[in-house]
Structure 1
C-alpha cells in the first residue's frame, strides 16, 4: 500500500513537471536562459583568452627587458674576455625569482655560459623546434626573426610552463675590432642569449582570475536568469493564466467575468479587447434572451392559433363528410319515415271503427311495434350523426382498433350499400389495444372510406384489415380499394392541405391532410401504395399500449 501511495505521488509529480514543461513562459525562460548561459560561456572564454594573451605579452616584455639587462651587464666583461665576471653576472641574475635558466650559445650551438654549469660546452641540435625558427636543416642561419617569433612556451613533464626568449647577439664593431676576439667583419651574429622565465606565477594568477571570472559570470547569469524569470512570470505567465481562466469562465457561461490587467503594452490592449468582447457577448446574450422570450411567446401564440385552426379543420372535414353522407342519410330516414306514416294512417282508420276484433287489436299492436322500431332506427341514425359531428375533447386512452373499425363501418354502412360497395373485413382477433382517441380514429377511417368509395365505380370492393407485428410492437391498419388509383405525379401532394383533384362540389382537399395530422398526433406512420387502375392501399402503423398489453407475448 505504501509503495502504491509512493507511486501515485511520483506519478502526480511527474504530471506536474510535464505541465510545467509545456508552459509557454517556461519555454521562453529556457530559451533566454540558454542564450544567457551561452553568452556567459563565450564572454568567459574570450575574457580568459584575452587575459592569457595579456600575461604572455607582459611576460614576453619582461623576458626582453631581462635579456637586455643581461646583454648590457655582460657586454663589457665579454669585450675584455673576462669569463669569470660574465659567469658571475649570469649566475647572479639567474638567481632572481621567476628566472629558470639563462644560456648563451655561440653560432655553432655550443653553450658558452649557463646558470646550470653542467650544460657548459654542450652542443645542441640546430634542428630542434627552438632553433628551427632561425636555422635551416643544415644549421645555417636563414633569417633573424622578429621578437614575437623568437619566444616559445615550453611545458614540462610536471605540467609547469616556461616562456623562453631568444635574443640574437649581433657582431658589433667593438667586437670584431677588439684584440681578444677572432670574429671577422662578415659575421653578423655571434650567438644568442636564451632566457627562460617561469610561468608558474602568471598561470596561478590566471587560474585564480579564471575561477573568479567563472564564478562571477555564473552569479551574473543566475541573477539575470532570476530577474528574467520574475519578469516572464509577472509579465507573461500571470497574464496568460488570467486569460486562460477568463476563457474557461466565458466557455462555462459566465459572461460577467473580466480580466483585471492594467498595462500599456500589447497584453494590456489584449485584456481590454477581451473585456470588450465579453461585454459584447453579454449584450448579445441579453438580446438573444429577449428575442428568445419574445419568440417563445410568439410561438406559443401561433401554436395556439394553429391548434384552433386544426380543430376547425377537423370540424370542417367532419361536416364535409356529413355532407357526403347526406344522400344516404336522407334515403335511410325516408324508408322508416314512410313506414311510420303508412302504419300511422292504417291505425288511424282502424281506430275509427269502434268495434275492434281481437285479431284487429293484435294487428294494431304489431303496427305500433313497427312504428317504435322504425322510430328507434331513425333516432339511432340521427344520434350517431350528431355524435360524430359534435366537437369533442381529445382523449387518448387504450382502445380496441377492431371495435373502432366496426363502429366506423356501421356509421357508413348505408352509404356503402347505396353505392353497391362490397366490404371485406380481415380483422386479426385478440388484437392488442392501442393508445388513440376513438373519435379521431373514426374520423380518419371515415375520410379514408369515403375517399375509397369515390374512387371506385359500382360493385367495388373495400378491404379493411388489421394485424399486429410483434417485432415492431405496432398494429397495422389497412384500407384498400380497387378503384382508379392515384396518378404518380399527384402522389407527392396528396397530404397537402387544400390539394384536391376533385371539383369544388365534392370537397376542399382537407380529407387526407386531416388523416395525416391525426396519424402524426398518435405518433403513428402512414404509407400509401397506389397504381393507376389497380387501386390504392393506405397503411397506418399505430404503437400498442405496453402497460395494457404487458402480459402479451412479444
Structure 2
C-alpha cells in the first residue's frame, strides 16, 4: 500500500490515469443510474396508463348493468376480464367498504377497514375524488414468497344524474362517489423487463468504461507518458552536461511536441552559452594573467589568494605571502590600506601609493573591489595597481611647462585674450593688455570683449569673431576712451575644461597714422597733377563771369539801359558758373582733407562717377574717350568713400599715363580710350577699369603693387599709387587684380568687393 501511494504521489501518469478513471467511472455510474431511473419511470408510466385504461374499460362495461341492477352481468363481466394473465384481482367496493363484486367470489360481501391499504390512501387524503391523480390512486403491493409484486389501481365510481334519479336506487344527488373499483395487476413481467434492462445497461456501461479507459490509457501513455519520459531522460542528459549528439524529436505537433522542440532548442542554446562561458572564462583568465597592471586577490588577513603574471614577475611572491610584505617589504599592513576599508564597508576605494624600489621612487594607483559569495558576504578583496610613475613624471614636466607657458603668455608684447566662445566674455588675458588698453588684469576679467569696441561698431565686429580668423584695422577704445586701431587674430583653442577663442590684438594705430600721412601726401601729389585740369575747369566759369562783368561795365559807362530779360539771363549764367566753381573747389577740398578711416555702406557707381568728375578735365585735355558700362542697382559695399575715390583716381591717372606713353611712341596707331564697367557676379561687386595704353610686361605684373615700385620714368611717379590703392582695397575686404596681354595691348584692373550684409 505504501508503494502504491508513493507511486501515485510521484507519477504524473498515475495521477492522470487515476483522476481520469475516477471521473469516467463516476460519469458512467451516474449515466447508468439516470438511465435506469428514467427507464423505470417510463415503464411504470406505461403500466399506470394501461391500468387506468383497463379500469375505465371495466367501469364503462359495467355501467349499463349497474343501471339495470343486473348483478349477474356485472359479476360475469368482472370474471371474464379477470381471466387476463396480468390481472390478479378486480373488486368493486361500496361506500361502507363492503366488497360487492370480486373476481374471487369468496370475497363478496366482506368488509374492509378504513385502515386497509385499499382505503387508507383515499381516506388519508381527505377522501377519493373523481379527478384525483393516478399516482394518488395507485399502490404497490410487495412480493411474497409465492406472489410477485403487484400494483393496485383504485378508480372512483361517480354518482351520475342517470343513477341518482332512477327509481331503483336510493343514492341522493349529493353523493359524489358511490364506490370504488380496484384493479390489481401483476408486476412480474414488468420487474423482469426492468431487471433485464438494468443488466443490459450495466453491461453496456461497463463496456463503455472499459473501452474508454483503455483508449484514455493508451492515449495518455502514447502522447503523455512516453514523451514526458523521453523529455525527462533528455533533460537529465542536459543537466549532466552531455553534448547534443542526438536532438530530441517527437512525432507530435501538439503542445508536447512544441515542448520537446523548445527543450531541444534550449539544449542547443545552453551548449552555445556553455561554450561561450568557457570561452569567456578562458578569455578572463588570459586577461587576468596578461593585463598590463598588477592584480591580486586577498583575504581579510591581507594574505595573497591569487595574483596575475604581472605581479608574479615583478615581486616573485612566496606561497602564503602577504601583500604588504610583497609590495613594500613591510612586516605589518600599511597605515591607510584601501583593502581594509573595502572589507569594512563593502565599497571600492582608490588611493595612490609610493615606494622606493631599487633606488627609484615608484608610484601606483591602487583600486580595490569586494568579492562576495552567494549569500552576499565579502570573502575576499581584489586589488588592482597601475604603475603611474611615467604619468607622475609627466605631471611634473607639465607643471614646469605650464609655468613656462604662463611666463611666455604674460610676456608676449601683444595683448592676448581668452574668450568664452558663446558670450565672448574675457576669461583670461596677459600683462600686455594693460600696456595697450590701460586695464589691469583684475579690471578686464569677466567683462564682455564688446566693451573694447565703440557702441556703433559692436554689431559689425562681434559676429566676425566667429567668422574670420583675421580682422584688419578694427577700431577699439582704451580705458580712457582713446581710439586705437588693431589687427585682431582669432584662433579656436582649448582652455582647461572648455573650448575658447584665443584672440590676439596688434596695435597698428601709429602705422595707420603713417599710412594716412602717406595717403595724404599721395592725395596732394594727385591734386598737383590735376592742377592743370582744375585750373582749366575753373577758367571756364571765370571767363563767363568776366564777360558778363565787362558787359555790365560797358553799359554802365555808356549809361545804356540793360533789358530785364538780358539782365536776368546773364545773372542766371553767373550764378550757375559760380555754383560750378564752388562745387569744384568743395570737391577738391573734400578730396584733400584727411578721412576718418571709417567704413560705410557706399554705392560703388556713385564713388566712381564722383572720381571721374574731379578728373574729367584731365582726360578731356588729352582727348581721351571714356566708355561707360555700369550695372544699375548694385549692392552696397563696405568702404571709406574718400579713400575709395582716391583708388579710382589713382587708376585713372595710371590709365591716362599709359595711354599718353603709347600715343607718344606711335601716335598714328594709338587709340585713346578708357572703359569704366561695374557688375554683380559670383556674389561680388566688380569694377573694371580698362585702358588702351602700353600694357604691362609679364615680369612687372607681380611687382606693381609693391611700395615704391614704378614703371614710369624717373620724376614721373613715386611708386606709391598702386601700393596705397592695394592697401585701401584690402581694408574694404576686397581684392585687386591686373590683366594684360603684354606691352602695347592695354591693361585691365579688376576690383572685387563683398556686398554689404544689409544690402538688399
TM range (shorter): 0.5 to 0.7
Give the corresponding residue for 2:17: 29
Give the corresponding residue for 1:374: none
Residues 167 and 34 of structure 1, relative CA distance in 2, 3 Å threshold: same
Whether the aligned pair in 2 keeps the contact of 1:103 and 1:193 (CA below 8 Å) is yes
- Shift, 1:293, TM fit: 4.1
Give the corresponding residue for 2:314: 309
Q: How does 1:454-493 map to 2 (within 5 A)?
A: 489=335
* Aligned equivalent of 2:250, options 261, 282, 285: 261
* Aligned equivalent of 1:213, options 171, 176, 201: 201
- The question of 1:155 aligning with 2:155 is answered no
- The question of 1:145 aligning with 2:145 is answered no
Whether the aligned pair in 1 keeps the contact of 2:130 and 2:158 (CA below 8 Å) is no
Residues 500 and 255 of structure 1, relative CA distance in 2, 3 Å threshold: same
Give the corresponding residue for 1:542: none
- The question of 1:115 aligning with 2:103 is answered yes
Bigger proportion of residues as helix:
1
Paired residue secondary structure (2:96): coil
Whether the aligned pair in 2 keeps the contact of 1:134 and 1:143 (CA below 8 Å) is no
Give the corresponding residue for 2:38: 50
Deviations 1:389-432 (A, max 9, x none): xxxxx9x9xxxxxxxxxxxxxxxxxxxxxxxxxxxxxxxxxxxx
- The question of 1:66 aligning with 2:92 is answered no
- Shift, 1:188, TM fit: 2.3
Q: What is the CA–CA distance in structure 2 between the aligned matches of 1:260 and 1:151, rounded to whole Å?
A: 70
Q: CA RMSD in A?
A: 3.9
Deviations 1:348-391 (A, max 9, x none): xxxxxxxxxxxxxxxxxxxxxxxxxxxxxxxxxxxxxxxxxxxx
After TM superposition, the score normalised by the length of structure 1 is 0.52
Q: What is the CA–CA distance in structure 1 between the aligned matches of 2:339 and 2:31, rounded to whole Å?
A: 89
Give the corresponding residue for 1:432: none
Q: What is the CA–CA distance in structure 1 between the aligned matches of 2:124 and 2:271, rounded to whole Å?
A: 94
Deviations 1:3-41 (A, max 9, x none): xxxxxxxxxx97588335521122112112111111111
Paired residue secondary structure (1:167): strand
Q: What is the CA–CA distance in structure 1 between the aligned matches of 2:102 and 2:142, rounded to whole Å?
A: 20
- Shift, 1:245, TM fit: 0.7
Residues 254 and 80 of structure 1, relative CA distance in 2, 3 Å threshold: same
Whether the aligned pair in 2 keeps the contact of 1:163 and 1:198 (CA below 8 Å) is yes
Q: What is the CA–CA distance in structure 2 between the aligned matches of 1:507 and 1:490, rounded to whole Å?
A: 22
- The question of 1:223 aligning with 2:214 is answered no
- The question of 1:164 aligning with 2:161 is answered no
* Aligned equivalent of 1:270, options 239, 259, 265: 259
- Shift, 1:145, TM fit: 1.7
- Shift, 1:165, TM fit: 0.8
- Shift, 1:132, TM fit: 3.6
Q: What is the CA–CA distance in structure 2 between the aligned matches of 1:160 and 1:208, rounded to whole Å?
A: 16
Q: What is the CA–CA distance in structure 2 between the aligned matches of 1:175 and 1:143, rounded to whole Å?
A: 16
The answer to which structure, 1 or 2, has the higher relative contact order (CA under 8 A, 6+ apart) is: 1
Whether the aligned pair in 1 keeps the contact of 2:130 and 2:177 (CA below 8 Å) is no
Q: Comparing 123-132 with 34-43, which one deviates more in the overlay?
A: 123-132
Residues 307 and 83 of structure 1, relative CA distance in 2, 3 Å threshold: same
Whether the aligned pair in 1 keeps the contact of 2:8 and 2:15 (CA below 8 Å) is no
Q: What is the CA–CA distance in structure 2 between the aligned matches of 1:240 and 1:113, rounded to whole Å?
A: 80
Whether the aligned pair in 1 keeps the contact of 2:87 and 2:185 (CA below 8 Å) is yes
Paired residue secondary structure (1:112): strand
Give the corresponding residue for 1:79: 67
Paired residue secondary structure (1:134): helix
Whether the aligned pair in 1 keeps the contact of 2:95 and 2:179 (CA below 8 Å) is yes
Q: Which has the larger radius of gyration?
A: 2
Question: Which runs of 5 or more structure 1 residues have no equivalent in the other structure?
Answer: 1-12, 315-393, 397-435, 452-478, 480-485, 511-554
Whether the aligned pair in 2 keeps the contact of 1:111 and 1:121 (CA below 8 Å) is yes
- Shift, 1:193, TM fit: 0.6
Residues 246 and 291 of structure 1, relative CA distance in 2, 3 Å threshold: same
* Aligned equivalent of 1:91, options 79, 86, 101: 79
Paired residue secondary structure (1:196): strand
- The question of 1:38 aligning with 2:26 is answered yes
Q: What is the CA–CA distance in structure 2 between the aligned matches of 1:225 and 1:68, rounded to whole Å?
A: 52
Residues 299 and 183 of structure 1, relative CA distance in 2, 3 Å threshold: closer
Q: How does 1:227-246 map to 2 (within 5 A)?
A: 227-246=215-234
Q: How does 1:371-520 map to 2 (within 5 A)?
A: 489=335
Q: What is the CA–CA distance in structure 2 between the aligned matches of 1:507 and 1:76, rounded to whole Å?
A: 150
Q: What is the CA–CA distance in structure 2 between the aligned matches of 1:213 and 1:169, rounded to whole Å?
A: 42
Q: What is the CA–CA distance in structure 1 between the aligned matches of 2:287 and 2:120, rounded to whole Å?
A: 110
- Shift, 1:304, TM fit: 5.2
Q: What is the CA–CA distance in structure 2 between the aligned matches of 1:77 and 1:208, rounded to whole Å?
A: 43
- Shift, 1:179, TM fit: 4.2
Deviations 1:40-98 (A, max 9, x none): 11111111111111111111111112112222332233222222222222122112101
Q: Comparing 141-150 with 277-286, which one deviates more in the overlay?
A: 141-150
* Aligned equivalent of 1:130, options 118, 126, 141: 118
- Shift, 1:274, TM fit: 1.2
Residues 147 and 306 of structure 1, relative CA distance in 2, 3 Å threshold: closer
Give the corresponding residue for 1:383: none
Paired residue secondary structure (2:123): coil
Q: What is the CA–CA distance in structure 2 between the aligned matches of 1:44 and 1:179, rounded to whole Å?
A: 60
Give the corresponding residue for 1:286: 275
Residues 110 and 487 of structure 1, relative CA distance in 2, 3 Å threshold: closer
- Shift, 1:230, TM fit: 1.3
Paired residue secondary structure (2:54): helix
- Shift, 1:508, TM fit: 5.6
Whether the aligned pair in 1 keeps the contact of 2:92 and 2:180 (CA below 8 Å) is yes
Deviations 1:427-449 (A, max 9, x none): xxxxxxxxx9xxx9xxx9xx98x
- Shift, 1:491, TM fit: 8.5
- Shift, 1:287, TM fit: 2.2
Paired residue secondary structure (1:130): helix
Paired residue secondary structure (2:247): coil
Residues 20 and 488 of structure 1, relative CA distance in 2, 3 Å threshold: closer
Question: Which runs of 5 or more structure 2 residues have no equivalent in the other structure?
Answer: 292-307, 341-350, 364-760
Q: Comparing 108-117 with 156-165, which one deviates more in the overlay?
A: 156-165
Bigger proportion of residues as strand:
2
